[in-house]
DNA sequence: TTTCCTTACGCCTATCGTAAGCATA
DNA sequence: TATGCTTACGATAGGCGTAAGGAAA
């Protein structure tokens, strides 16, 4: 059995006339008759009862006609689906993001993406940067919004966010009344710190910052994620240095203050495998980079 | 696109090796490669990413593979369905029956048929014989259990039931105490009669019976169906002559008595179109005739 | 050097179209 | 006699298999 034979059969079923069906199929009657005979042979049953004056469906023909319609429809849909997938107009992309980028960046961006690329299903997975990079390598993620960290895998990066880091302190804190706060003011202060493992990027950044300036705060906790740290700040446990977007957490009893240092910035990179095969990923990535503007040049390694 | 190309594609998808897939398809690698290329051309997208060391599905290929599986499965099912239908092992048969044959004959028979021919869906339609014959001609019925009546359509018949007709009389009736009742006893008695139109067969039979014997009962009602007539008998309105199977109606206040005449019989015939095209109808008909035994020889016209 | 997918090429099969056959209204 | 499905037949195109090519490990 053959899709062409089914197309022939459907045409004859609908015309109930070999001549007209042949015209519709852009062929002559004799080969059409032959195709029907071949189909009947392969099915092993007569499908059309024909006299020289009339063509009628047998019971088997009626049953096969219904199935043939489904089959041809499915065949067309299969080709269309494959084409859409190849063009990137359809498909699924799994996107990783860190909790803090989920406050503002991800929701706005992906809302726009869903509208612009309606055929693409975007699956979100929240995890810290190091997990994301591993997941990218394992193909568990197709795109990742990560802090710049070294990775074993062969990845490409593009910076999409660059924001200052700010001091988060309890509204009741002594420094809260001070007009301008500098790093030196933090000497001896209880500072809630990112953990080495889960919050590696911020941990290293803050540690280096204090090492460079010689100021020594008092590290009182080590947490992986920004929202947990700001929650401790609100509880009055200490101050913290966090990316400015942490303001979007809306902790009422927390004040955010500038550090007046242009080099203390937090960055988010979009990362993906160099050997990417999913056209939908390319489409979504191109959309994201276009939407976020030419924030910086692409590179194989983050500046980190 | 072609089912053969899809079969080739599925084989390669599952083996991820052109050589092994070719073996599975009983062909050599080069034409298999060519089939895949043809499929890719007709889809307009690369489906398999191949190097000389590995074969991998692209995103479009993954999507098409799933659809191809469905398609091939549906294609096989379509052929199987058509074959089952052609053989009569599958299909739908619409069967007409008269109310009175529904008391005993139809339930037993069709229960057995359902078990013996599980693939055949039997749709029952209750109507009087004349309606059934018209419905047969219009192809609204495939089989009919009818009283023998002339019909315009080109039908075949086979007698399946031959039962005596009996006198139904109220238990309180004067004749109920009589040991042996003859037709002569019915002279002047109120007799509930079948109507000319709906109960034509019994109407004519009973009318002819009294005309031949010269006995003249008093016709007090004309009803189409046996159960309505026996209900009037139970109410004491009169007596009636009905087929013996009317006993199965279980009216408590009605007695059934033999007429002692072997020529007063009611017959039911199985009827079907001579030019029948539905193999399931043939299967069911053959089962019915076999099950009911060689009750009588088949004929084109009822003995009437 | 081996593996294995692709390209090249000749043979053969299969399908098309034209033409003739044949049954029915 | 006309309509319309089927059979017959020759030309052609497409697909198979064999053999050679080429890229990667």
Q: How high is the mean pLDDT of chain A? A: 90
Q: Are residues B96 and B76 in the same domain?
A: no
Which of these ranges, A8-12, A100-104, B199-203, has the smallest mean pLDDT? A100-104
With respect to residue A210, please indicate whether it lies within any of the assigned structural domains: yes
Confidence of residue A242 (pLDDT cuts 50, 70, 90): very high
Last residue of a domain, one of A41, A64, A87: A87
CATH number of the domain within which A78 lies: 1.10.10.10
Whether the per-residue pLDDT at A103 is higher than 80: the answer is no
Task: Please report the pLDDT score of residue B176 as a whole number.
Answer: 87
Q: Are residues B121 and B200 in the same domain?
A: no
**A72 in reach of chain B (CB within 8 A):** no
- Report the alpha-carbon distance of residue A289 to residue B2 in Å, rounded: 40
Task: Please report the pLDDT score of residue B99 as a whole number.
Answer: 86
Q: Are residues B167 and B211 in the same domain?
A: yes
Contacts of B83 in chain A (CB under 8 A): 43-45, 60
With respect to residue A13, please indicate whether it lies within any of the assigned structural domains: yes
CA of A155 to C1' of D20 (A): 40
CATH number of the domain within which A193 lies: 3.40.190.10
Task: Please report the pLDDT score of residue B52 as a whole number.
Answer: 74
Of A3, A63, A277, the CB nearest to B3: A3
Nucleotide nearest to A29 (CA to C1'): D5
Q: Between chains, do B71 and A78 touch, taking CB under 8 Å as contact? A: yes
Q: What is the pTM of this model?
A: 0.74
Tens place of pLDDT per residue across chain B (304 aa): 899 999 999 999 999 999 999 999 999 999 999 999 999 999 999 999 998 788 999 999 999 999 999 999 999 999 999 999 999 999 999 999 998 887 778 888 999 999 999 999 999 999 999 999 999 998 899 999 999 988 888 899 999 989 999 999 999 998 888 888 888 999 999 999 999 988 999 999 999 999 998 999 999 999 989 999 999 999 999 999 999 999 988 889 999 999 888 888 999 999 999 888 889 999 999 999 999 874 444 444 554 3
- Report the alpha-carbon distance of residue B243 to residue B288 in Å, rounded: 21
Task: Please report the pLDDT score of residue B296 as a whole number.
Answer: 45
**B77 in reach of chain A (CB within 8 A):** yes
Nucleotide nearest to A40 (CA to C1'): D6
Confidence of residue A32 (pLDDT cuts 50, 70, 90): very high
- Radius of gyration, CA atoms only, chain A: 32
Find out whether A271 and A92 touch, Cβ atoms under 8 Å. no
Q: Between chains, do A59 and B279 touch, taking CB under 8 Å as contact? A: yes
Last residue of a domain, one of A52, A87, A122: A87
With respect to residue B300, please indicate whether it lies within any of the assigned structural domains: no
A64/chain B closest Cα distance in angstroms: 6
**A284 in reach of chain B (CB within 8 A):** no
Residue of A nearest to B85 (CA): A60
Strand C bases within 7 angstroms of protein beta carbons: 3-9, 15-20, 22-25
- A212-240: pLDDT as tens digits: 989 999 999 999 889 999 999 999 999 99
Query: CA–CA distance from B127 to each of B95, B124, B144, B273 (Å)?
Result: 10, 10, 10, 17
Task: Please report the pLDDT score of residue A125 as a whole number.
Answer: 93
With respect to residue A43, please indicate whether it lies within any of the assigned structural domains: yes
Q: Which residue segment(s) compose the domain that B102 sits in?
A: 91-160+266-291
- Radius of gyration, CA atoms only, chain B: 32
Task: Please report the pLDDT score of residue A303 as a whole number.
Answer: 41
Q: Are residues A60 and A96 in the same domain?
A: no
- Distance of alpha carbon A110 from its chain centroid, rounded? 8
Task: Please report the pLDDT score of residue B292 as a whole number.
Answer: 86
Task: Please report the pLDDT score of residue A70 as a whole number.
Answer: 94
Q: Between chains, do B67 and A78 touch, taking CB under 8 Å as contact? A: yes
CA of A54 to C1' of C25 (A): 11
- A129-140: pLDDT as tens digits: 999 999 998 888
Task: Please report the pLDDT score of residue B187 as a whole number.
Answer: 92
Nucleotide nearest to A31 (CA to C1'): C16
Q: Are residues B123 and B186 in the same domain?
A: no
**A162 in reach of chain B (CB within 8 A):** no
With respect to residue B296, please indicate whether it lies within any of the assigned structural domains: no
Q: How many domains does chain B have?
A: 3
Give per-residue burial for B27-36: e unless 16+ CB within 10 Å, then b.
eeeeebbebb
Find out whether A193 and A206 touch, Cβ atoms under 8 Å. yes
Contacts of A280 in chain B (CB under 8 A): 59
Task: State the best of A1, A8, A59 to mutate against chain B, taking most chain B CBs within 10 Å.
Answer: A59
A61/chain B closest Cα distance in angstroms: 7
Task: Please report the pLDDT score of residue A260 as a whole number.
Answer: 82
Q: Are residues A276 and A232 in the same domain?
A: no
**B80 in reach of chain A (CB within 8 A):** no
């Amino acid at each position: 059995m053959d899709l062409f034979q089914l197309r022939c059969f459907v045409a004859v079923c609908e015309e109930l006339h070999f001549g007209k069906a042949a015209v519709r199929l852009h062929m002559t009657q004799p080969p059409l008759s032959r195709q029907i005979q071949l189909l009947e042979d392969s099915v092993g049953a007569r499908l059309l009862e024909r006299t020289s004056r009339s063509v009628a469906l047998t019971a088997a023909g009626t049953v096969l006609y219904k199935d043939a319609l489904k089959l041809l429809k499915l065949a067309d849909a299969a080709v269309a689906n494959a084409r859409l997938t190849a063009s990137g107009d359809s498909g699924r992309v799994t996107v990783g993001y860190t909790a803090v980028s989920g406050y503002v960046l991800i929701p706005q961006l992906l809302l726009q993406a869903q509208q612009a690329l309606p055929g693409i299903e975007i699956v979100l997975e929240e995890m810290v940067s190091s997990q994301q990079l591993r997941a990218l390598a394992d193909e568990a993620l197709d795109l990742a919004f990560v802090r710049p960290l070294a990775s074993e895998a062969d990845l490409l990066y593009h910076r999409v966010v660059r924001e200052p880091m700010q001091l988060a302190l309890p509204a009741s804190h002594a420094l809260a009344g001070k007009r301008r706060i500098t790093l030196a003011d933090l000497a001896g202060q209880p500072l809630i710190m990112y953990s080495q493992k889960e919050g590696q990027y911020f941990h290293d950044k803050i540690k280096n910052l204090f090492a460079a300036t010689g100021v020594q705060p008092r590290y009182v906790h080590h947490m992986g994620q920004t929202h947990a740290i700001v929650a401790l700040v609100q509880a009055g446990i200490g101050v913290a240095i966090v990316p400015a977007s942490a303001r979007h957490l809306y902790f009422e009893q927390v004040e955010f203050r500038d550090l007046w240092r242009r080099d203390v910035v937090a960055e988010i990179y979009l990362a993906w495998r160099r050997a990417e095969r999913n056209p939908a990923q390319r489409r979504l990535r191109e959309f994201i980079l276009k939407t976020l503007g030419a924030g910086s040049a692409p590179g194989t390694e983050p500046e980190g």
